[in-house]
Amino acid sequence: MAGYTDPPYRELMKEFRIPVLFTEMIDSHALVHRNDKTSKMLGRRDQQLFTQIAAGTAVLADGALSVLLEEDIRGINLNMGCPAKKVVSCGGGSNLLRHPTIIRDICRNVRKRASHIPFSVKFRSGWDMTSLNFLEVGKIFEDEGVDFVILHARTRTQAFSGRAHWNHIRMLKDHLRIPVIGNGDVVSYETAKAMVDASGCDGIAIGRGVIGNPWLYLQAAAALEGDAPLKEPSIDERFRIITRHYELILDYFGSRLSTHIFRKHLVGYLKGLPGQKLVKEELFKDEALSLERLKDVLGEYFLALKTGLSLPNVAPKDLAQTA
Ligand SMILES: Cc1cc2nc3c(=O)[nH]c(=O)nc-3n(C[C@H](O)[C@H](O)[C@H](O)COP(=O)(O)O)c2cc1C
């Protein structure tokens, strides 16, 4: 996910034993021009890592692939689902769903040149509800040698709103022999199980639900394997993961950029906890948050949550009210 699954995040995710991870979507133009910021998005070439690119033409995808093969990537994923205007207007992301011939050209070339590494595609149900073509393009992927597909079961017009159509995942699963990974609206063990039951999908890809809740990966794995739900993480475990995450961000990006990068993760980690607004206010004051300061403020807050003690300036009853 753009802005989230950067190299420090992926390092942290090793603790969650995720079988497949994706980079943020990388713009092929930027790759071809060897933009520094883009190179930093690539990170370590771990075995389970798929590098995701967006390209609107076979020529551009080919240029980006040349750079990535030099970089010794371990897996390639093509984004044919991004709804963002700036991606669509360059012909890439979900725009490709309107051009199956270009999809075929891109996939054929990628498969030929990257025959030694796994190749997957992420796509949507179609451009809009009047032009659903996930079965047609899914078959193109299979015919062109894509190893597995991830279907975000929404249309481009839906963007991220409305419900994902899990019945599309079921239809695709019935239509193809290659593995079909379902995506859209998994936010808990229960929704993961419901998606598996509804669609028969071979795996689950999760987007927004894991922001601040990486434990959801473990819940989804349990649902896929038919196991019972796991216990929610303890306060101590949350503290360990949040502070480790920030440590990894600081190591990778340095103190100047890290505070800004971390904020959105912190918002996710604290979401729904009583009194979290005050903690955010306190931590967001700092333009260059140190790891020690994070540990102090968060430690005090979590201790208050665990023991029912009051936070400075906040009575215990207000912890609930400020949630
Ligand atoms: C902030 C944000 C960034 C995203 N970036 C990417 C991306 O880089 N590549 C991608 O394939 N999907 C990206 N997505 C889409 C998600 O991976 C996912 O397909 C979508 O959110 C639906 O799944 P969900 O309901 O589990 O969130 C992004 C979504 C959001 C909200």
Model pLDDT for residues 169-199, shown as the tens digit of each residue: 999 999 999 999 999 999 999 999 999 999 9
Q: How far does residue 187's CA lie from ligand 1's centre (Å)?
A: 13
Query: Which amino acid does the sequence have at 132?
Result: L
The answer to whether residue 205 is domain-embedded is: yes
Q: How far does residue 316's CA lie from ligand 1's centre (Å)?
A: 37
* List of E strands, 55-159: 76-80, 119-126, 148-155
Nearest residue (by CA) to ligand 1, atom 18, is 207
CB 100 within 8 A of CB 131: no
Instruction: Specify the ligand 1 atom closest to the Cα of 205.
Output: 26
Instruction: Specify the ligand 1 atom closest to the Cα of 206.
Output: 26
Which tokens is 273 given? 């906890």
Same domain, 262 and 129: no
Same domain, 167 and 240: no
pLDDT for the residue numbered 160: 97
Q: How far does residue 306's CA lie from ligand 1's centre (Å)?
A: 33
Q: Which domain holds residue 48?
A: 7-224
- Whether the pLDDT of residue 316 is over 60: the answer is no
The domain tally of the chain equals 2
Question: What rounded mean pLDDT belongs to the chain?
Answer: 94
Active site includes 82? yes
Same domain, 50 and 161: yes
Same domain, 252 and 184: no
- Residue 1: closest CA among 205, 156, 307: 205
Model pLDDT for residues 43-70, shown as the tens digit of each residue: 988 889 999 999 999 999 999 999 999 9
pLDDT for the residue numbered 321: 44
pLDDT for the residue numbered 311: 62
Ligand 1: residues with CB < 6 A are 1-3, 24-25, 52, 79, 81, 122, 152, 160, 183-186, 206-209
| Catalytic member of 82, 90, 107, 201 | 82
- Residue 169: closest CA among 143, 131, 138: 138
- Whether the pLDDT of residue 27 is over 90: the answer is yes
* CATH code of the domain containing 27: 3.20.20.70
